[in-house]
Structure 1
Amino acid sequence: MSDTTLSPAEVAAKHGLAVSGARPGLAEYCRQLWGRRHFILSFSQAKLTAQYSQAKLGQIWQVATPLLNALVYYFIFGVLMNAKRGIPSDVYIPFLVTGIFVFTFTQNSVMAGVRAISGNLGLVRALHFPRASLPISFALQQLQQLLFSMIVLVLVVVASGTMPMASWLLMVPVLACQFVFNTGLAMIMARLGSKTPDLAQLMPFVLRTWMYASGVMFSIKVVLQGKPHWLAQVLQVNPAAVYMDLARYSMIDGYGANNLPPHVWALAAGWALLVGVAGFVYFWKAEEQYGRG
């Protein structure tokens, strides 16, 4: 049969042509992402370096910003509102700083994810690469920033009287689970934000509500005493609270296992697997739409 009797789609299929920018299969997409791993790492490092390039103190703000946030929250919640009740005085400062640093990791990953596509349209439209590289690199950037903050956290914990101990090594699986969770969430927000740029204006209010509901500044068990038991359980098993509690348990000597919800490690891994996989698939399904329209 000659090409003149075939439809354009049939001619293209006959000669092995494919739609420009068509979404590859999931396995092929993963292979392409692995091939761009050096770009993902370099892009995240470049963004981290450029983040405070215009500030006189430069990279110092990577640790100064969350630390100043912790000081403000300590004054408001620890001193004025006595939110530290139920938590020993010598434990509350590392309790608060750990919560601020860990929640900020998720918060910044979400905000970076919202703008991952909409804020990089020039790059998306000019070059061909798996678009998931962008939200992954932004989540990786936030992980690197958190690692800088961990230096301050260690100093705060030691100053409170806790010496280095073996449980600190538990931070490795905690942060690994949280990174996978954050990356999946960033990819979900990247797809949503690519079509609805106004989402970036709404998310600070959502994240602030999430922060207050996750026990960043207080013990959920103590504050909700007398309230319905199911409410405390729901708040304790939300992923932000799970990762904060595990980080506190790992780093702070006076924060015992009695403060953790049941099956906490299964919850941490489950949230990471669920959101990480679902977010990746959800983002991949719209691969050919990014940067168009």
Structure 2
Amino acid sequence: MRASLYIHDPKQLGAIPEIIRKYHLDQPVYVQYWDWLAQVLHGDLGWSETAREPVADAIKGYFPATFELAVLAFVGILAFGIWLGTTSAVHKDQIIDHLSRVTSISGNSMPTFVWGLILLMLFYGALGWFPPGRLSLDADQFVHTARFHTYTGLMTIDAVLNRQWWLLWDALKHLVLPVATLTYYLTAVLVRITRSSMLDTLRTDYVRTALAKGLAQRVVVDKHARRNALIPVITLGSLLFVGLLSGVVITETVFNYPGIGRWGVSASQQLDIPAVTGFALIFAGLLVIGNLCADVLYALVDPRIRLQ
């Protein structure tokens, strides 16, 4: 029965004995696990039937697209989230605070696919400005020619390195809508955490003392309050970034964006066991790295925390 999970074509049922031998399915579970772990340590994650190539090569092909999307979205999330959360806390119960609450509530309550479809219908269907996908047809054909050299897999970076400015503009146009969708949705989460943390910090004695000494409010907020309020923001930010790197499935699906999350879902739907296992392994590794980076940032932001 387990061997049949590796069969995607009824015509290949005769290959079951070969699959049992290849994946050691006739061995105890612990033996299968150690065999798989030995292959992983050698960089062999198996063969993906959905991608028609080794899982490691499939991840290398899909991950740069997701990484490019994740970095741009994360920059927007941090910039707008921290600024809006700080501003709304400093100007509590004023107009900017009410606007940030509306933004936060609407962002949290509206599913990403609804927001994405609205943007898609408006800016592509009606105005024709920002198309879905990763590249236009002409650009996609160009990157597969000998005149284009792939250095990083990041289309914006490779376009600059190849000095193809029209290709850079084409890649950026395709990134605008998915980045805007993720930024709006996840900024809503970060705004609430930043505002709450800033309000707690602004009530502390050392902030009140600094204001009482005559320091400008902007100086107190920038140099004293915000830095100490960033601890929960860093924790949430690291988790958000890992989530973005693991692929935002709904956003990638709505905008037909060829990222790793969309590939992972396709592999799970087709019971591509090696691909699903490799995807889960990569996600677990990213989560560990994200938490480690958060711990390091704690010490950089808050002098009271020291790395032991």
TM normalised by structure 1 equals: 0.32
Instruction: Flag the structure with larger Rg.
Output: 2
